[in-house]
Structure 1
Amino acid sequence: MKESGLYALPSEANLDMPRHEVDEPKKAAKKQNQRFLVTTLLSRLFIIAVTFGLSAYGAKEMYEVLSTNQITWLQWLFLTLFCINFTWISFAFSQATLGLIFKLSPFRQKRREEDTEGVTAILLPVYNEDPVRIRASIEAMHDDLIEKAPGKFAFFILSDTNQAENSIKEKQTFYPILNQDEHACPIYYRRRLNNAERKAGNVSEWVTRFGSDYECMIVLDADSLMSAECLTSMSRRMAAEPSLGLIQTLPTIIRADTLYSRIQQFANQCFGPIYAAGLTTWHGNASNFWGHNAIIRTKAFAEACGLPILPGKAPFGGHVMSHDFIEAALLRRAGWGVRFDTDLQASYEEAPPSLIDVMVRDRRWCQGNLQHKAFVNAKGLHFASRMHLMTGIFSYFSAVFWFALISVGFALAVQAHFVRPEYFSNLSLFPNWPVFDFEKARSLFVLSMALVLAPKLFGWLNAMLHWRQCRKFGGPIILTLDTLLEVLVSALYAPILMFSQFLVVMDVLKGRDSGWKPQSRDDGANKWSETTRAHIYHTIFGLLLAASAYFLSAQLFYWSLPITFGLICSIPLSWLSGGAKRGNLLSKLGLLKGPEERRPTAIVKRLEQKIHQLDQNNPLDSDQDMPLKSYIDNVSFYTWHLAQLPEQEGQQFDRHKVCAAWQIENSDSIEELMSHLNEQEHLAIIKYRSLFVKLQKFLPKNKACA
């Protein structure tokens, strides 16, 4: 870092970002590119026709399955729940079918690109994450950009880390790579002292302080990785389409080393492109935003995306949690296009390592998605934006409907077992025989399973028909084995996730707030005791369900095994899901190795090299138990941190500040000070300039600074 650049930030370029209301009038759409309008319209008609056509057929068949002289109210309830669930899987099937059609089509139009002017900001929000892994990713992208696009990009590490030890380790890790070389690729760092509105507030704070100097910003996640070619292409596409407010890429999952993450990685790389192709064709210029690996026009974001504060308390009131869906909807309401470009390559992310980590993430996502109910009927939203919000909500409520369908189905079985049918309930010479068409029921079950599995078959077929892609998966035999393995393992985990999401939805509806927890980035290896606590209710429910089915009839027991077996075995299945040692056994057998693992791209290779280098020379190896000592051992680091702290501290009373000042004054060494500080006092020292200056008493006499 330059000696004069102690602040590690450029000059501020303020940009107004007004806060909007939930209900606001729609603005006229910017002049859009007309090339894809017909395709988008036809795709939407296809989705509607296939979804409702299949749903109507399924409803008719189920009605006939349940047909008697008089359908009971419980059967009507079962029919209603079946129709809701069947419509959901029909909708997914229609999108996958549309995706396969476009994947196999030889006619593909290339997106326009133009040369860019100015610098594109790359924002990397951080919240109590592993800074070493993030630094490796930044260094890999930074080196790639210096070689291929010098002077075109600038990194901003936007820290919301609110734990003292993590904050110091973070600064210690990032400090050596910070620079202000605008002719190459500067790397800036900023830590917020107030974590208001979480990630959305983190990004919007940057927009209001620096946004005016940057035409576009690329938002990444802590585990994101993108090549210089991808970053450059995103900027060039935004330059070519002035009406676009956002371009979302399709991130590819990499670096999976556990059973569960490998299953996700394979599904993402084999089946994901089929779904994505379907989504991008019917979304058109009203697509969605997933919060990372996307480029946004900064002024459009400032103009449209000042999020409203919802009335009431959490979980449904307060700040918007899942802000990305809402930001896409608000951009579209303001007339800006939102596009999903699936052809952009070398956009990467990582997956949660275990089933428990997915459940923890689901708790936060579920609350955020259910909060979107306040926006579904908001004025001015595009119908596609409403569909995105409703799909997000139903992605969790579907678990409730599946659970309800199973419960009502068992209730019908109980009724059939215990209630004697009335054959002569009416005054008639002819009995009312209860009719249950098992042949139609079997056919409908086969159809339902076909709709569920078809997208996976489409992904396998697409890879088999494109030989280069097939070779990346290890050839046709390995690809087929991996597909079958993914189907089997996913089927085992599906009922566990279904019941878990059902409990999560119930938890949110009870009014419990999830808080804000960072995502796990380790290998997800859980102890048996932890796994048992997480899945004991799944196991009990599975045992009760299986016992009930067996008591009612052997046939029902076998029909329910796909659900009950996964629930009963949820503890060992969850334990197996995490842990690199267990997951990498599959890799040694040549199974579930993604294309990026078999033939990694240059940027992925560079990331692995950086991770290896940092592992060999970890900047956090020293003073891990006393991170505050790192300032005393490195006066340059001390001076840099001091320069970040504001001159004005405010006049409000802070008890922790007073206590920390007393601790510093009455400690003879940094070791003694650290032994007495609590978390809040620790935070006060690195937050207040007047306190941090007092640490100079511990600096070596020949290195003390003013």
Structure 2
Amino acid sequence: MNQTTQNSGLYALPNEAPLDMPRHVVNEIRQTAKKQNQHFFVTTLLSRLFVFLGTLGLSAYGAYEMYAVLSTNHITWLQWLFLALFCVNFTWISFAFTQATLGLLFKLAPFKRKRKELDATGVTAILLPVYNEDPVRIRASIEAMHEDLLEKAPGKFAFFILSDTNRAENSIKEKHTFYPILNQNTEACPIYYRRRLNNAERKAGNVAEWVTRFGNDYECMIVLDADSLMSAECLLSMSRRMAAEPSLGLIQTLPTIIRADTLYSRIQQFANQCFGPIYAAGLTTWHGNASNFWGHNAIIRTKAFAEACGLPILPGKAPFGGHVMSHDFIEAALLRRAGWGVRFDTDLQASYEEAPPSLIDVMVRDRRWCQGNLQHKAFVKAKGLHFVSRMHLMTGIFSYFSAVFWFALISVGFALAVQAYFVKPDYFNNLSLFPNWPVFDFEKARSLFIVSMGLVLAPKLYGWLSALLHWQQCRKFGGPIMLTLDTLLEILVSALYAPILMFSQFLVVMDVLRGRDSGWKPQSRDDGANKWKEATRAHIYHTILGIGLAVSSYFLSPQLFYWSMPITFGLIFSIPLSWLSGGSKRGNLLSKFGFLKGPEERRPSEIVTRLENKLTQLEQHSSELSNIPLRAYINNVDFYAWHLAQLPEQENNQFDRHKVCATWLIEHSDSIEDLMAHLNEQEHLAIIKYRSLFLRLSKFLPEKVTDTNHKAYA
């Protein structure tokens, strides 16, 4: 594309500024770390010792107590297996408890860390990767942030909408929605758009393609998701902190969940806003400058990213080989290996995201995340990685494998119950005068169960306590009574959904281990209102398992039946619980009674209010496109000219059957409706991809326009 066209305002991108991004291999030598603040180094070291020793001590206590529970004189091989599985699960909850305890200590501490800030020079890019998303929601978010930045930080930022959308209808709707706001305020805060035709390496490849084409002009880039939102103050503070800390390669914020309107998303929203800060405070304290990246709502030093984060291609086929799916964890690890600091700044406010609307949507997302996390096994032993980076990878893997150990623990527990019921014990199998009694210490079992539940629930109680002690925060939750009621409601509902999710994750892990690839599906952004048929299809195996466990436990022992009810109840009623999880009508009914209303719903910040106003204004826009998307070009000559300006003048001369077929269909169609009635998806994509083919659509325009006219117009 020539210089005149790029500067015309019709072209959607600025001049290119290439930046080399070499591809790395799994095993490389670690580079010397950049210098960090010595005070923070000491605090981080002490925090890591606290987490390690706390987890080790609790795990040892749990193992000792369970050993005492199982038998007073002899343990069978099945009981040894039960003990081993219990230790694994108990260590996992001890690790979470210790981190949350550390977080509470720092949340209640009178002294807070103050991050250095310095005015940044140059422009920071804000990247919004898009993949078959609702363009109206994205435009509303961009306009809200854009207006905020024009008022508070003109000339400091530039937006890039990076589209990987690969469906013709979605692509046209996307372009039609975005093109009116592109290249406005080019000096103060421009908005650019690029659609990538080759979706190689998914989101990681999308961002990497931008880095190699435009990265050299931008010191830093802020990566968002399609549902992300940030205030101008937050964006400015992020860029200033990067300017003040030249050793940092990445700063991750703690996104707050907003706009929840279903039962399940409201549960996630409350947990995120009440309990999330406690976990986050613990994480940021022991992570230090070797923290993690969650793929969005973070700022990255562009040249550091280009230098360190060219992802390797793993040997073999998916799900374990090929391109790296969960790229964010690996990018954080590679930045740290290259010597750059990766920091988690939980004090940055007004960083937002949205939650999946229903249980089924969470299960769909978990399928993709599970495959990505299990793929990380190739990096756990990689040379040069910081040990905290390895911890991130291992905890990501175990976050899904914990479901396998949980299911195995239940299975072995039931096997022990079956053995006790059907197998006649041989008390004198060792030819001794003294019998070998298979004794269980039920008092110790009850005590250990209470301790285990305490470890699981403590982080939630920490969040409740922290909010209660900070009066301003407590008021945002509706006061101490509503805060307490919402905490209890969240604990109850989460307990019902927990066994459903755990069994789903168990099935997902088994699916990945069998070698099935999840593919790349867009995230659901609707209200998740599922039909009964969909809920039944998704949870029929949960229901069968729950009924089977309940019936067998009641047959074996009434006590076992009651002990297993926290698991079996949720599984048996998984279908209605899943149906209830989605749907805004059902979810908003809670808010009418004041339940599960987060602080941002009770007292929304300025940027959230801007977003809601923009969404209201743009609701009409979503209905402007007819059922025939190509008509958008015919009804609007300016839009037709804009799209034409994005298409390269030089085309690939290789034979394209879809292009040939689309050409014939255009020539033999009398109207756009007639054309659309015969086009398939690939032919539709060809029309909006090839300049020569797109020009043929001009036969349907109200006035004849030639390619020369469009060049002159551009």
Bucket of the pairwise TM-score, normalised by the shorter protein? over 0.9
Hey, what does 2:272 align to over in structure 1? 268
Hey, what does 1:670 align to over in structure 2? 672
TM-fit CA distance, 1:38 = 0.5
Extract unaligned runs of 5+ from structure 2. none
Distance 1:515 1:667 in 2: 36
Hey, what does 1:85 align to over in structure 2? 89
Please give the per-residue CA displacement for 1:176-229, whole angstroms capped at 9, x wherever unaligned: 111153321100000000000000000000000000000000000000000000
TM-fit CA distance, 1:425 = 1.2
Q: Give me the TM-score of the superposition, normalised by structure 2.
A: 0.98
Distance 2:652 2:531 in 1: 47
Question: How is 1:39-438 mapped onto 2 (pairs within 5 angstroms)?
Answer: 39-438=43-442
Q: SS of 1:169's equivalent?
A: helix
TM-fit CA distance, 1:35 = 2.8
Please give the per-residue CA displacement for 1:622-672, whole angstroms capped at 9, x wherever unaligned: 343111111111111111111111122222221111101111111121111
Q: SS of 2:315's equivalent?
A: coil
> Which deviates the most, 430-439 or 476-485?
430-439
Q: Any conservation in 1 of the 2:66–2:83 contact (CA below 8 Å)? A: yes
Please give the per-residue CA displacement for 1:149-182, whole angstroms capped at 9, x wherever unaligned: 0000000000000000000000000011111533
Hey, what does 1:477 align to over in structure 2? 481
TM-fit CA distance, 1:71 = 1.1
TM-fit CA distance, 1:288 = 0.1
Hey, what does 1:563 align to over in structure 2? 567
The residue identity in structure 2 corresponding to 1:437 is D
Hey, what does 1:550 align to over in structure 2? 554
Distance 2:498 2:88 in 1: 18
Hey, what does 1:588 align to over in structure 2? 592
Q: 2:635 aligns with which of 633, 636, 639?
A: 633
**Alignment partner of 1:507 is 2:511:** yes
Q: SS of 2:564's equivalent?
A: helix
Distance 2:145 2:163 in 1: 19
Distance 1:3 1:100 in 2: 53
Hey, what does 2:659 align to over in structure 1? 657
> Which deviates the most, 631-640 or 62-71?
62-71
Hey, what does 1:682 align to over in structure 2? 684
Taking every aligned residue pair, what percent have the same amino acid on both sides?
Answer: 85
Distance 2:418 2:489 in 1: 35
Q: SS of 1:36's equivalent?
A: helix
**Alignment partner of 1:14 is 2:18:** yes
Hey, what does 1:456 align to over in structure 2? 460
Q: Any conservation in 1 of the 2:666–2:675 contact (CA below 8 Å)? A: yes
Please give the per-residue CA displacement for 1:324-367, whole angstroms capped at 9, x wherever unaligned: 00000000000000000000000000000000000000000000
Distance 2:367 2:65 in 1: 36
> Which deviates the most, 689-698 or 409-418?
689-698
The residue identity in structure 1 corresponding to 2:439 is V
Distance 1:637 1:92 in 2: 53
Q: Any conservation in 2 of the 1:8–1:178 contact (CA below 8 Å)? A: yes
Q: Any conservation in 1 of the 2:257–2:353 contact (CA below 8 Å)? A: yes
Distance 2:259 2:489 in 1: 19
Q: 1:597 aligns with which of 601, 608, 617?
A: 601
Q: Any conservation in 2 of the 1:2–1:179 contact (CA below 8 Å)? A: no
Q: Any conservation in 2 of the 1:361–1:519 contact (CA below 8 Å)? A: yes
Q: Give me the TM-score of the superposition, normalised by structure 1.
A: 0.99
The residue identity in structure 2 corresponding to 1:698 is F
Q: 2:40 aligns with which of 36, 43, 49?
A: 36
TM-fit CA distance, 1:138 = 0.3
Distance 2:39 2:480 in 1: 36
TM-fit CA distance, 1:428 = 2.2
Q: SS of 2:367's equivalent?
A: helix
Q: Measured at CA, do residues 623 and 141 of structure 1 come closer, stay the same or move farther in structure 2, by a change above 3 Å? A: closer
Please give the per-residue CA displacement for 1:112-150, whole angstroms capped at 9, x wherever unaligned: 000110000000000000000000000000000000000
**Alignment partner of 1:698 is 2:686:** no
Distance 2:351 2:230 in 1: 5
The residue identity in structure 1 corresponding to 2:45 is L
Hey, what does 2:31 align to over in structure 1? 27
Q: SS of 2:623's equivalent?
A: coil
TM-fit CA distance, 1:702 = 5.6
Distance 1:523 1:416 in 2: 48
Distance 1:96 1:347 in 2: 22
Q: SS of 1:42's equivalent?
A: helix
Please give the per-residue CA displacement for 1:60-119, whole angstroms capped at 9, x wherever unaligned: 000111124321110110000000000000000000000000000001121000011000
Distance 1:41 1:654 in 2: 60
Q: SS of 1:339's equivalent?
A: strand
The residue identity in structure 1 corresponding to 2:425 is P
TM-fit CA distance, 1:34 = 2.2
The residue identity in structure 1 corresponding to 2:462 is F
Question: How is 1:610-625 mapped onto 2 (pairs within 5 angstroms)?
Answer: 610-615=614-619, 617-618=620-621, 620-625=622-627
Q: Any conservation in 2 of the 1:120–1:214 contact (CA below 8 Å)? A: yes
The residue identity in structure 1 corresponding to 2:681 is E
The residue identity in structure 1 corresponding to 2:649 is E
Distance 2:143 2:152 in 1: 14
Hey, what does 1:498 align to over in structure 2? 502
Q: 1:537 aligns with which of 496, 520, 541?
A: 541
Q: SS of 1:701's equivalent?
A: coil
The residue identity in structure 2 corresponding to 1:242 is P
Q: Any conservation in 2 of the 1:301–1:331 contact (CA below 8 Å)? A: yes
The residue identity in structure 2 corresponding to 1:622 is E
Q: Any conservation in 2 of the 1:180–1:188 contact (CA below 8 Å)? A: no
TM-fit CA distance, 1:305 = 0.2
The residue identity in structure 2 corresponding to 1:494 is A
Distance 1:133 1:180 in 2: 19
Please give the per-residue CA displacement for 1:381-401, whole angstroms capped at 9, x wherever unaligned: 000000000000000000000
Distance 2:520 2:634 in 1: 32
Q: Any conservation in 2 of the 1:525–1:580 contact (CA below 8 Å)? A: yes
Q: Any conservation in 1 of the 2:260–2:269 contact (CA below 8 Å)? A: yes
**Alignment partner of 1:521 is 2:525:** yes
Q: CA RMSD in A?
A: 1.1
TM-fit CA distance, 1:621 = 1.8
The residue identity in structure 2 corresponding to 1:393 is I
Distance 1:485 1:306 in 2: 45
TM-fit CA distance, 1:430 = 1.8
TM-fit CA distance, 1:427 = 2.1
Q: SS of 2:39's equivalent?
A: coil
Please give the per-residue CA displacement for 1:394-449, whole angstroms capped at 9, x wherever unaligned: 00000000000000000000000011111111222221111100000000000000
Please give the per-residue CA displacement for 1:458-494, whole angstroms capped at 9, x wherever unaligned: 0000000000000000000000000000000000000
